[in-house]
Structure 1
Protein backbone atom coordinates (compact mmCIF):
# COMPACT_ATOMS: atom_id res chain seq x y z
CA UNK A 1 0.00 0.00 0.00
CA UNK A 2 1.29 3.43 -0.91
CA UNK A 3 2.29 5.68 1.96
CA UNK A 4 0.51 8.99 2.61
CA UNK A 5 1.38 11.69 0.12
CA UNK A 6 3.52 14.66 1.03
CA UNK A 7 1.39 17.75 1.70
CA UNK A 8 3.78 20.49 0.64
CA UNK A 9 5.69 21.23 -2.57
CA UNK A 10 8.97 19.43 -3.13
CA UNK A 11 11.99 20.76 -5.04
CA UNK A 12 14.54 18.64 -6.89
CA UNK A 13 17.80 19.98 -8.30
CA UNK A 14 19.39 18.43 -11.41
CA UNK A 15 22.73 19.41 -12.91
CA UNK A 16 23.96 20.22 -16.40
CA UNK A 17 26.14 17.62 -18.06
CA UNK A 18 29.18 17.84 -20.24
CA UNK A 19 30.78 15.02 -22.22
CA UNK A 20 34.44 14.48 -21.45
CA UNK A 21 34.51 11.83 -24.15
CA UNK A 22 31.91 11.39 -26.89
CA UNK A 23 32.65 8.63 -29.35
CA UNK A 24 29.98 8.28 -32.05
CA UNK A 25 29.52 5.25 -34.27
CA UNK A 26 27.69 4.81 -37.57
CA UNK A 27 23.96 5.42 -37.38
CA UNK A 28 21.98 2.25 -36.64
CA UNK A 29 18.89 1.01 -38.45
CA UNK A 30 16.72 2.38 -35.64
CA UNK A 31 18.07 5.88 -36.34
CA UNK A 32 20.23 6.09 -33.22
CA UNK A 33 24.01 6.27 -33.12
CA UNK A 34 25.96 3.91 -30.86
CA UNK A 35 27.90 5.92 -28.30
CA UNK A 36 30.74 5.46 -25.89
CA UNK A 37 30.72 8.54 -23.71
CA UNK A 38 31.86 9.81 -20.33
CA UNK A 39 29.48 12.26 -18.75
CA UNK A 40 30.24 14.70 -15.97
CA UNK A 41 27.67 16.69 -13.99
CA UNK A 42 28.78 20.27 -13.32
CA UNK A 43 27.58 23.03 -11.02
CA UNK A 44 24.99 24.63 -13.29
CA UNK A 45 21.55 23.33 -12.45
CA UNK A 46 17.81 23.54 -12.91
CA UNK A 47 15.43 23.39 -9.94
CA UNK A 48 12.03 21.76 -10.41
CA UNK A 49 9.30 22.25 -7.80
CA UNK A 50 6.38 19.83 -7.84
CA UNK A 51 3.09 20.08 -5.97
CA UNK A 52 -0.29 18.39 -6.20
CA UNK A 53 -3.29 20.15 -7.66
CA UNK A 54 -6.93 19.11 -8.16
CA UNK A 55 -6.60 20.33 -11.75
CA UNK A 56 -4.56 18.76 -14.53
CA UNK A 57 -0.81 19.13 -14.92
CA UNK A 58 0.49 22.66 -15.50
CA UNK A 59 3.97 24.08 -16.05
CA UNK A 60 5.68 27.43 -15.55
CA UNK A 61 9.29 28.12 -16.46
CA UNK A 62 11.59 30.89 -15.26
CA UNK A 63 15.28 31.28 -15.98
CA UNK A 64 18.48 33.14 -15.27
CA UNK A 65 18.85 36.26 -17.46
CA UNK A 66 21.18 34.48 -19.91
CA UNK A 67 18.75 31.59 -20.50
CA UNK A 68 16.58 32.03 -23.61
CA UNK A 69 13.21 30.52 -22.70
CA UNK A 70 11.46 31.23 -26.01
CA UNK A 71 11.89 27.68 -27.27
CA UNK A 72 10.96 25.97 -23.98
CA UNK A 73 7.42 24.58 -24.33
CA UNK A 74 5.04 24.87 -21.41
CA UNK A 75 2.48 22.41 -22.75
CA UNK A 76 2.40 18.60 -22.75
CA UNK A 77 5.33 18.48 -25.17
CA UNK A 78 7.72 19.62 -22.40
CA UNK A 79 9.83 16.65 -21.36
CA UNK A 80 9.18 17.26 -17.66
CA UNK A 81 5.44 16.85 -18.26
CA UNK A 82 6.16 13.82 -20.45
CA UNK A 83 8.03 12.35 -17.49
CA UNK A 84 5.01 12.86 -15.24
CA UNK A 85 2.74 11.29 -17.86
CA UNK A 86 5.09 8.31 -17.92
CA UNK A 87 4.59 7.69 -14.20
CA UNK A 88 1.15 9.20 -13.66
CA UNK A 89 -0.53 8.24 -10.39
CA UNK A 90 -3.87 9.78 -11.28
CA UNK A 91 -3.48 13.23 -9.69
CA UNK A 92 -2.61 16.58 -11.20
CA UNK A 93 0.60 18.47 -10.58
CA UNK A 94 1.84 22.02 -10.72
CA UNK A 95 5.39 22.11 -12.04
CA UNK A 96 7.66 25.14 -11.70
CA UNK A 97 11.13 25.05 -13.28
CA UNK A 98 13.89 27.54 -12.58
CA UNK A 99 16.60 27.17 -15.22
CA UNK A 100 20.33 27.88 -15.13
CA UNK A 101 21.19 25.32 -17.81
CA UNK A 102 21.35 26.84 -21.33
CA UNK A 103 18.53 25.80 -23.69
CA UNK A 104 19.56 23.74 -26.75
CA UNK A 105 23.15 24.10 -25.58
CA UNK A 106 24.34 20.50 -25.56
CA UNK A 107 24.22 20.34 -21.75
CA UNK A 108 21.09 18.17 -21.32
CA UNK A 109 18.93 20.81 -19.68
CA UNK A 110 15.73 19.12 -20.82
CA UNK A 111 17.02 15.76 -19.63
CA UNK A 112 17.85 17.28 -16.25
CA UNK A 113 14.27 18.56 -15.98
CA UNK A 114 12.89 15.13 -16.87
CA UNK A 115 15.08 13.43 -14.28
CA UNK A 116 14.04 16.00 -11.69
CA UNK A 117 10.36 15.39 -12.49
CA UNK A 118 10.75 11.61 -12.10
CA UNK A 119 12.51 11.92 -8.76
CA UNK A 120 10.18 14.65 -7.49
CA UNK A 121 7.11 12.55 -8.34
CA UNK A 122 8.61 9.52 -6.62
CA UNK A 123 9.45 11.44 -3.44
CA UNK A 124 6.33 13.64 -3.34
CA UNK A 125 4.16 10.53 -3.33
CA UNK A 126 6.56 8.56 -1.13
CA UNK A 127 6.83 5.76 -3.68
CA UNK A 128 10.52 5.07 -2.94
CA UNK A 129 11.00 3.04 -6.11
CA UNK A 130 14.32 1.20 -6.56
CA UNK A 131 17.01 2.98 -8.56
CA UNK A 132 16.70 0.49 -11.41
CA UNK A 133 13.01 1.36 -11.83
CA UNK A 134 13.72 5.09 -11.98
CA UNK A 135 16.57 4.49 -14.44
CA UNK A 136 14.29 2.40 -16.65
CA UNK A 137 11.69 5.16 -16.66
CA UNK A 138 14.42 7.67 -17.47
CA UNK A 139 15.77 5.64 -20.40
CA UNK A 140 12.33 5.66 -22.04
CA UNK A 141 12.36 9.46 -22.02
CA UNK A 142 15.76 10.12 -23.58
CA UNK A 143 19.38 9.06 -23.85
CA UNK A 144 20.74 11.59 -21.34
CA UNK A 145 17.98 11.30 -18.72
CA UNK A 146 19.45 8.31 -16.83
CA UNK A 147 22.73 10.16 -16.34
CA UNK A 148 20.88 13.19 -15.03
CA UNK A 149 19.58 10.94 -12.25
CA UNK A 150 23.00 9.41 -11.54
CA UNK A 151 25.20 12.52 -11.77
CA UNK A 152 28.85 12.60 -10.78
CA UNK A 153 31.00 11.13 -13.53
CA UNK A 154 29.75 8.13 -15.46
CA UNK A 155 30.29 6.14 -18.63
CA UNK A 156 27.36 5.87 -21.01
CA UNK A 157 26.98 3.25 -23.72
CA UNK A 158 24.25 2.04 -26.07
CA UNK A 159 22.76 5.34 -27.20
CA UNK A 160 24.07 6.83 -23.95
CA UNK A 161 21.28 5.52 -21.72
CA UNK A 162 23.22 2.56 -20.25
CA UNK A 163 25.05 4.37 -17.46
CA UNK A 164 27.82 3.11 -15.20
CA UNK A 165 29.23 5.42 -12.49
CA UNK A 166 32.97 6.07 -12.72
CA UNK A 167 35.24 6.66 -9.75
CA UNK A 168 36.48 10.24 -10.04
CA UNK A 169 38.66 11.79 -7.34
CA UNK A 170 39.35 14.95 -9.30
CA UNK A 171 37.91 18.38 -8.69
CA UNK A 172 37.71 19.82 -12.21
CA UNK A 173 37.48 23.55 -12.90
CA UNK A 174 35.52 24.57 -15.98
CA UNK A 175 34.53 27.78 -17.71
CA UNK A 176 31.29 27.58 -19.71
CA UNK A 177 30.34 29.88 -22.58
CA UNK A 178 26.76 29.43 -23.86
CA UNK A 179 25.74 30.63 -27.31
CA UNK A 180 23.00 33.17 -27.89
CA UNK A 181 21.32 30.83 -30.39
CA UNK A 182 20.88 27.09 -29.82
CA UNK A 183 21.91 24.27 -32.12
CA UNK A 184 19.66 21.33 -32.95
CA UNK A 185 21.08 18.00 -31.78
CA UNK A 186 19.47 16.07 -34.69
CA UNK A 187 20.99 18.57 -37.15
CA UNK A 188 24.46 18.00 -35.69
CA UNK A 189 24.10 14.22 -35.88
CA UNK A 190 22.86 14.44 -39.47
CA UNK A 191 25.86 16.59 -40.34
CA UNK A 192 28.14 14.06 -38.65
CA UNK A 193 26.64 11.41 -40.96
CA UNK A 194 27.29 13.60 -43.99
CA UNK A 195 30.89 14.26 -42.96
CA UNK A 196 31.56 10.64 -41.97
CA UNK A 197 29.53 8.28 -44.19
CA UNK A 198 32.06 5.54 -43.44
CA UNK A 199 32.13 6.02 -39.65
CA UNK A 200 32.93 2.77 -37.84
CA UNK A 201 30.12 0.81 -36.28
CA UNK A 202 31.96 0.81 -32.96
CA UNK A 203 32.52 4.29 -31.48
CA UNK A 204 35.92 5.46 -30.25
CA UNK A 205 36.60 3.93 -26.83
CA UNK A 206 36.50 6.00 -23.66
CA UNK A 207 39.27 3.94 -22.01
CA UNK A 208 42.03 6.59 -22.48
CA UNK A 209 39.78 9.20 -20.89
CA UNK A 210 39.00 6.92 -17.95
CA UNK A 211 42.70 6.31 -17.39
CA UNK A 212 43.35 10.05 -17.31
CA UNK A 213 40.48 10.64 -14.90
CA UNK A 214 42.01 8.15 -12.48
CA UNK A 215 45.14 10.31 -12.19
CA UNK A 216 43.16 13.42 -11.08
CA UNK A 217 45.67 15.47 -13.11
CA UNK A 218 44.11 18.25 -15.24
CA UNK A 219 46.89 18.28 -17.85
CA UNK A 220 46.48 14.56 -18.50
CA UNK A 221 42.72 14.90 -18.73
CA UNK A 222 43.02 17.83 -21.13
CA UNK A 223 45.10 15.76 -23.55
CA UNK A 224 42.39 13.11 -24.01
CA UNK A 225 39.16 15.14 -24.04
CA UNK A 226 37.32 13.99 -27.17
CA UNK A 227 34.09 14.85 -28.96
CA UNK A 228 33.18 13.37 -32.35
CA UNK A 229 30.37 15.93 -32.68
CA UNK A 230 32.72 18.90 -32.37
CA UNK A 231 33.71 18.83 -36.04
CA UNK A 232 30.13 18.92 -37.39
CA UNK A 233 29.11 21.52 -34.78
CA UNK A 234 31.97 23.83 -35.78
CA UNK A 235 31.31 23.21 -39.47
CA UNK A 236 27.73 24.40 -38.90
CA UNK A 237 28.79 27.25 -36.60
CA UNK A 238 32.40 28.31 -37.39
CA UNK A 239 32.38 30.90 -34.60
CA UNK A 240 32.60 28.02 -32.12
CA UNK A 241 36.08 27.23 -33.40
CA UNK A 242 37.06 30.85 -32.91
CA UNK A 243 35.74 30.74 -29.34
CA UNK A 244 37.73 27.58 -28.53
CA UNK A 245 40.92 29.16 -29.86
CA UNK A 246 40.28 32.28 -27.78
CA UNK A 247 39.67 30.34 -24.57
CA UNK A 248 42.87 28.34 -24.99
CA UNK A 249 44.78 31.57 -25.72
CA UNK A 250 43.41 32.93 -22.41
CA UNK A 251 44.98 30.01 -20.55
CA UNK A 252 42.53 27.10 -20.66
CA UNK A 253 44.21 23.71 -20.85
CA UNK A 254 41.67 22.65 -23.45
CA UNK A 255 38.46 23.95 -24.96
CA UNK A 256 35.77 21.84 -26.58
CA UNK A 257 32.18 21.87 -27.76
CA UNK A 258 29.84 20.44 -25.12
CA UNK A 259 27.95 17.48 -26.56
CA UNK A 260 26.23 18.57 -29.76
CA UNK A 261 26.88 22.25 -28.95
CA UNK A 262 26.77 25.14 -29.26
CA UNK A 263 27.90 25.68 -25.65
CA UNK A 264 31.70 25.48 -25.30
CA UNK A 265 33.51 24.43 -22.14
CA UNK A 266 37.09 25.03 -21.06
CA UNK A 267 39.09 22.86 -18.68
CA UNK A 268 41.41 24.86 -16.42
CA UNK A 269 44.26 23.85 -14.15
CA UNK A 270 42.90 25.39 -10.93
CA UNK A 271 40.36 27.77 -9.45
CA UNK A 272 42.77 30.65 -10.07
CA UNK A 273 43.29 29.50 -13.65
CA UNK A 274 39.56 29.32 -14.25
CA UNK A 275 39.10 32.86 -12.93
CA UNK A 276 41.76 34.12 -15.36
CA UNK A 277 40.04 32.40 -18.30
CA UNK A 278 36.68 33.69 -17.05
CA UNK A 279 37.99 37.26 -16.96
CA UNK A 280 39.66 37.00 -20.37
CA UNK A 281 36.57 35.62 -22.13
CA UNK A 282 34.24 38.03 -20.33
CA UNK A 283 35.93 40.89 -22.15
CA UNK A 284 34.41 39.65 -25.42
CA UNK A 285 31.52 37.30 -24.64
CA UNK A 286 28.33 38.41 -22.90
CA UNK A 287 27.78 35.22 -20.88
CA UNK A 288 30.68 33.36 -19.27
CA UNK A 289 30.05 31.00 -16.35
CA UNK A 290 32.49 29.32 -13.96
CA UNK A 291 31.64 25.76 -12.97
CA UNK A 292 33.01 22.85 -10.96
CA UNK A 293 32.60 19.14 -11.53
CA UNK A 294 31.66 16.53 -10.69
CA UNK A 295 28.52 17.27 -8.68
CA UNK A 296 25.60 15.14 -7.53
CA UNK A 297 22.81 13.88 -9.75
CA UNK A 298 19.15 14.74 -9.22
CA UNK A 299 18.42 15.23 -5.52
CA UNK A 300 15.83 16.77 -3.24
CA UNK A 301 16.64 20.29 -2.09
CA UNK A 302 16.09 20.54 1.66
CA UNK A 303 14.78 23.96 2.64
Structure 2
Protein backbone atom coordinates (compact mmCIF):
# COMPACT_ATOMS: atom_id res chain seq x y z
CA UNK A 1 0.00 0.00 0.00
CA UNK A 2 1.08 3.56 -0.65
CA UNK A 3 2.15 5.54 2.41
CA UNK A 4 -0.71 8.00 1.89
CA UNK A 5 -3.26 5.16 1.80
CA UNK A 6 -1.78 3.59 4.94
CA UNK A 7 -2.34 6.94 6.61
CA UNK A 8 -5.93 7.05 5.33
CA UNK A 9 -6.67 3.52 6.57
CA UNK A 10 -5.26 4.41 9.98
CA UNK A 11 -7.22 7.66 10.00
CA UNK A 12 -10.49 5.83 9.28
CA UNK A 13 -9.85 3.43 12.16
CA UNK A 14 -9.16 6.36 14.50
CA UNK A 15 -12.32 8.16 13.32
CA UNK A 16 -14.44 5.05 13.92
CA UNK A 17 -12.90 4.52 17.36
CA UNK A 18 -13.58 8.12 18.37
CA UNK A 19 -17.06 7.78 16.84
CA UNK A 20 -18.04 5.50 19.75
CA UNK A 21 -17.19 8.30 22.17
CA UNK A 22 -19.12 10.84 20.08
CA UNK A 23 -22.11 8.48 20.03
CA UNK A 24 -22.09 8.23 23.82
CA UNK A 25 -21.98 12.04 24.13
CA UNK A 26 -24.88 12.41 21.67
CA UNK A 27 -26.87 9.73 23.50
CA UNK A 28 -26.61 11.76 26.69
CA UNK A 29 -28.97 14.24 25.00
CA UNK A 30 -30.92 12.25 22.40
CA UNK A 31 -32.82 8.93 22.59
CA UNK A 32 -31.21 6.09 20.59
CA UNK A 33 -33.70 6.07 17.71
CA UNK A 34 -33.54 9.84 17.19
CA UNK A 35 -29.74 9.91 17.44
CA UNK A 36 -29.38 7.12 14.88
CA UNK A 37 -31.88 8.81 12.55
CA UNK A 38 -29.97 12.11 12.72
CA UNK A 39 -26.72 10.27 12.03
CA UNK A 40 -28.02 8.93 8.74
CA UNK A 41 -30.01 12.03 7.81
CA UNK A 42 -26.80 14.07 7.94
CA UNK A 43 -24.81 11.41 6.05
CA UNK A 44 -27.56 11.19 3.40
CA UNK A 45 -27.34 14.91 2.48
CA UNK A 46 -25.19 14.21 -0.64
CA UNK A 47 -28.18 12.35 -2.14
CA UNK A 48 -29.53 15.78 -3.07
CA UNK A 49 -26.77 15.96 -5.69
CA UNK A 50 -26.14 12.28 -6.51
CA UNK A 51 -28.22 9.95 -8.63
CA UNK A 52 -29.10 6.56 -7.22
CA UNK A 53 -26.39 4.01 -8.06
CA UNK A 54 -27.20 1.09 -10.34
CA UNK A 55 -28.40 -1.15 -7.50
CA UNK A 56 -31.94 -2.52 -7.20
CA UNK A 57 -34.14 -1.07 -4.47
CA UNK A 58 -34.60 -4.44 -2.70
CA UNK A 59 -30.82 -4.95 -2.51
CA UNK A 60 -30.22 -1.33 -1.46
CA UNK A 61 -32.80 -1.61 1.33
CA UNK A 62 -31.47 -5.00 2.45
CA UNK A 63 -27.89 -3.71 2.71
CA UNK A 64 -29.00 -0.53 4.45
CA UNK A 65 -31.24 -2.37 6.92
CA UNK A 66 -28.37 -4.58 8.08
CA UNK A 67 -25.09 -2.77 7.49
CA UNK A 68 -26.40 0.59 8.72
CA UNK A 69 -29.84 0.66 10.38
CA UNK A 70 -29.59 -2.60 12.32
CA UNK A 71 -25.94 -2.27 13.23
CA UNK A 72 -25.99 1.30 14.50
CA UNK A 73 -29.41 1.20 16.15
CA UNK A 74 -28.34 -1.84 18.18
CA UNK A 75 -25.11 -0.02 19.07
CA UNK A 76 -27.02 3.06 20.19
CA UNK A 77 -29.42 1.08 22.37
CA UNK A 78 -26.60 -0.92 23.95
CA UNK A 79 -24.50 2.15 24.78
CA UNK A 80 -27.55 4.14 25.94
CA UNK A 81 -28.42 1.34 28.37
CA UNK A 82 -25.04 1.19 30.03
CA UNK A 83 -22.67 -0.92 27.93
CA UNK A 84 -19.23 0.79 28.22
CA UNK A 85 -18.04 2.46 25.03
CA UNK A 86 -14.71 0.62 24.99
CA UNK A 87 -16.42 -2.75 25.37
CA UNK A 88 -18.97 -1.85 22.68
CA UNK A 89 -16.17 -1.10 20.20
CA UNK A 90 -14.70 -4.57 20.78
CA UNK A 91 -18.06 -6.34 20.50
CA UNK A 92 -18.89 -4.62 17.21
CA UNK A 93 -15.57 -5.66 15.67
CA UNK A 94 -16.43 -9.28 16.40
CA UNK A 95 -18.42 -8.95 13.16
CA UNK A 96 -15.36 -10.52 11.51
CA UNK A 97 -16.13 -13.75 13.38
CA UNK A 98 -19.77 -13.74 12.26
CA UNK A 99 -18.88 -12.76 8.69
CA UNK A 100 -16.68 -15.83 8.27
CA UNK A 101 -19.24 -18.09 9.95
CA UNK A 102 -22.16 -16.79 7.86
CA UNK A 103 -20.09 -17.06 4.66
CA UNK A 104 -19.76 -20.78 5.37
CA UNK A 105 -23.55 -21.09 5.62
CA UNK A 106 -24.50 -18.76 2.76
CA UNK A 107 -21.76 -19.45 0.21
CA UNK A 108 -20.16 -22.69 1.36
CA UNK A 109 -16.82 -20.91 1.85
CA UNK A 110 -14.46 -23.16 3.78
CA UNK A 111 -12.40 -21.19 6.34
CA UNK A 112 -8.69 -21.85 6.64
CA UNK A 113 -7.22 -23.60 9.66
CA UNK A 114 -5.97 -20.27 11.04
CA UNK A 115 -9.40 -18.70 10.58
CA UNK A 116 -10.97 -21.55 12.55
CA UNK A 117 -8.39 -21.03 15.29
CA UNK A 118 -9.10 -17.28 15.26
CA UNK A 119 -12.86 -17.87 15.46
CA UNK A 120 -12.39 -20.24 18.40
CA UNK A 121 -10.17 -17.79 20.28
CA UNK A 122 -12.55 -14.86 19.66
CA UNK A 123 -15.51 -17.00 20.80
CA UNK A 124 -13.68 -17.80 24.04
CA UNK A 125 -13.12 -14.06 24.54
CA UNK A 126 -16.82 -13.37 24.03
CA UNK A 127 -17.68 -16.03 26.60
CA UNK A 128 -15.27 -14.40 29.06
CA UNK A 129 -17.02 -11.06 28.50
CA UNK A 130 -20.40 -12.75 28.98
CA UNK A 131 -19.19 -13.81 32.42
CA UNK A 132 -19.02 -10.14 33.46
CA UNK A 133 -22.51 -9.20 32.24
CA UNK A 134 -25.05 -8.18 34.86
CA UNK A 135 -22.75 -6.23 37.15
CA UNK A 136 -22.62 -2.75 35.63
CA UNK A 137 -25.11 -3.23 32.75
CA UNK A 138 -28.01 -5.58 32.07
CA UNK A 139 -28.10 -8.83 30.17
CA UNK A 140 -30.75 -7.24 27.92
CA UNK A 141 -28.44 -4.36 26.96
CA UNK A 142 -25.67 -6.84 26.10
CA UNK A 143 -28.08 -8.99 24.07
CA UNK A 144 -29.23 -5.96 22.05
CA UNK A 145 -25.62 -4.92 21.42
CA UNK A 146 -24.79 -8.43 20.16
CA UNK A 147 -27.31 -7.85 17.36
CA UNK A 148 -24.89 -5.25 15.95
CA UNK A 149 -22.01 -7.53 14.84
CA UNK A 150 -24.44 -10.16 13.53
CA UNK A 151 -26.36 -7.80 11.23
CA UNK A 152 -23.05 -6.07 10.40
CA UNK A 153 -21.80 -9.44 9.11
CA UNK A 154 -24.98 -10.00 7.09
CA UNK A 155 -24.57 -6.53 5.58
CA UNK A 156 -20.97 -7.35 4.62
CA UNK A 157 -22.14 -10.38 2.66
CA UNK A 158 -24.99 -8.48 0.99
CA UNK A 159 -22.58 -5.70 0.03
CA UNK A 160 -20.72 -8.17 -2.18
CA UNK A 161 -23.69 -8.10 -4.55
CA UNK A 162 -23.37 -4.34 -5.14
CA UNK A 163 -20.45 -4.41 -7.54
CA UNK A 164 -18.97 -1.80 -9.85
CA UNK A 165 -20.82 1.19 -8.37
CA UNK A 166 -19.33 4.46 -6.98
CA UNK A 167 -18.70 3.90 -3.28
CA UNK A 168 -19.57 7.43 -2.14
CA UNK A 169 -22.85 7.40 -4.08
CA UNK A 170 -23.73 3.95 -2.74
CA UNK A 171 -23.08 4.80 0.91
CA UNK A 172 -25.00 8.08 0.65
CA UNK A 173 -28.07 6.26 -0.67
CA UNK A 174 -27.66 3.51 1.94
CA UNK A 175 -27.81 6.24 4.58
CA UNK A 176 -30.97 7.66 3.01
CA UNK A 177 -32.58 4.21 2.97
CA UNK A 178 -31.82 3.93 6.70
CA UNK A 179 -32.88 7.48 7.64
CA UNK A 180 -36.44 7.22 6.26
CA UNK A 181 -37.66 4.23 8.34
CA UNK A 182 -35.77 5.57 11.36
CA UNK A 183 -37.68 8.86 11.04
CA UNK A 184 -40.97 6.94 11.10
CA UNK A 185 -39.77 4.84 14.05
CA UNK A 186 -38.71 8.00 15.93
CA UNK A 187 -42.09 9.64 15.43
CA UNK A 188 -43.84 6.49 16.68
CA UNK A 189 -41.65 5.75 19.70
CA UNK A 190 -40.60 9.23 20.85
CA UNK A 191 -43.33 11.41 19.35
CA UNK A 192 -42.90 14.58 17.24
CA UNK A 193 -42.99 16.96 20.21
CA UNK A 194 -40.41 15.08 22.28
CA UNK A 195 -38.10 14.65 19.27
CA UNK A 196 -38.31 18.34 18.35
CA UNK A 197 -37.75 19.37 21.98
CA UNK A 198 -34.65 17.17 22.24
CA UNK A 199 -33.15 18.55 19.03
CA UNK A 200 -33.88 22.20 19.89
CA UNK A 201 -32.32 21.87 23.35
CA UNK A 202 -29.07 20.16 22.38
CA UNK A 203 -25.89 21.57 23.84
CA UNK A 204 -22.88 22.55 21.71
CA UNK A 205 -21.21 19.25 22.65
CA UNK A 206 -24.27 17.33 21.48
CA UNK A 207 -24.45 19.21 18.18
CA UNK A 208 -20.75 18.71 17.46
CA UNK A 209 -21.06 15.00 18.39
CA UNK A 210 -24.00 14.32 16.07
CA UNK A 211 -22.38 16.24 13.21
CA UNK A 212 -19.16 14.28 13.76
CA UNK A 213 -20.75 10.84 13.66
CA UNK A 214 -23.00 11.82 10.74
CA UNK A 215 -20.68 13.73 8.42
CA UNK A 216 -17.27 12.36 9.43
CA UNK A 217 -17.62 8.89 11.01
CA UNK A 218 -20.39 7.74 8.66
CA UNK A 219 -20.20 9.66 5.38
CA UNK A 220 -16.51 10.47 4.92
CA UNK A 221 -14.99 7.48 6.76
CA UNK A 222 -17.13 4.87 4.98
CA UNK A 223 -16.37 6.50 1.63
CA UNK A 224 -12.61 6.37 2.31
CA UNK A 225 -12.90 2.76 3.49
CA UNK A 226 -14.82 1.77 0.35
CA UNK A 227 -12.26 3.53 -1.82
CA UNK A 228 -9.42 1.64 -0.12
CA UNK A 229 -11.24 -1.68 -0.58
CA UNK A 230 -11.67 -0.81 -4.25
CA UNK A 231 -7.95 -0.13 -4.76
CA UNK A 232 -6.48 -2.88 -2.55
CA UNK A 233 -7.32 -6.41 -1.47
CA UNK A 234 -9.41 -6.92 1.66
CA UNK A 235 -6.43 -8.67 3.26
CA UNK A 236 -4.44 -5.42 2.98
CA UNK A 237 -7.16 -3.07 4.22
CA UNK A 238 -9.34 -4.91 6.75
CA UNK A 239 -6.59 -5.50 9.38
CA UNK A 240 -6.53 -1.74 10.01
CA UNK A 241 -9.99 -2.17 11.59
CA UNK A 242 -8.18 -3.87 14.49
CA UNK A 243 -7.16 -0.37 15.61
CA UNK A 244 -10.81 0.61 16.21
CA UNK A 245 -11.35 -1.14 19.57
CA UNK A 246 -8.00 0.08 20.89
CA UNK A 247 -8.84 3.68 19.96
CA UNK A 248 -12.38 3.33 21.31
CA UNK A 249 -11.25 1.81 24.62
CA UNK A 250 -8.41 4.30 25.10
CA UNK A 251 -10.60 7.31 24.27
CA UNK A 252 -13.42 6.13 26.56
CA UNK A 253 -10.99 5.63 29.43
CA UNK A 254 -9.77 9.22 28.99
CA UNK A 255 -13.13 10.92 28.39
CA UNK A 256 -15.40 8.84 30.66
CA UNK A 257 -12.87 7.30 33.02
CA UNK A 258 -13.96 3.77 32.06
CA UNK A 259 -12.10 0.95 33.77
CA UNK A 260 -12.43 -2.77 33.14
CA UNK A 261 -12.07 -5.64 35.57
CA UNK A 262 -9.46 -8.35 34.95
CA UNK A 263 -11.88 -10.87 33.38
CA UNK A 264 -13.54 -8.34 31.06
CA UNK A 265 -10.21 -6.80 30.03
CA UNK A 266 -8.77 -10.26 29.35
CA UNK A 267 -11.88 -11.15 27.32
CA UNK A 268 -11.55 -7.98 25.24
CA UNK A 269 -7.90 -8.73 24.52
CA UNK A 270 -8.69 -12.35 23.60
CA UNK A 271 -11.47 -11.23 21.21
CA UNK A 272 -9.14 -8.78 19.44
CA UNK A 273 -6.39 -11.44 19.28
CA UNK A 274 -8.81 -13.92 17.70
CA UNK A 275 -9.96 -11.34 15.16
CA UNK A 276 -6.32 -10.51 14.37
CA UNK A 277 -5.57 -14.17 13.65
CA UNK A 278 -8.60 -14.37 11.35
CA UNK A 279 -7.80 -11.20 9.43
CA UNK A 280 -4.06 -11.68 9.15
CA UNK A 281 -4.16 -15.33 8.13
CA UNK A 282 -3.54 -16.05 4.47
CA UNK A 283 -6.46 -17.35 2.48
CA UNK A 284 -5.87 -20.49 0.42
CA UNK A 285 -5.16 -19.78 -3.22
CA UNK A 286 -7.65 -21.09 -5.72
CA UNK A 287 -6.54 -24.21 -7.57
CA UNK A 288 -6.29 -23.37 -11.32
CA UNK A 289 -8.49 -25.33 -13.67
CA UNK A 290 -6.63 -27.80 -15.87
CA UNK A 291 -7.99 -28.16 -19.39
- TM-score, with normalisation over the residues of structure 1? 0.28
Greater strand fraction, Structure 1 or Structure 2: 1
Greater helix fraction, Structure 1 or Structure 2: 2
- TM-score, with normalisation over the residues of structure 2? 0.29
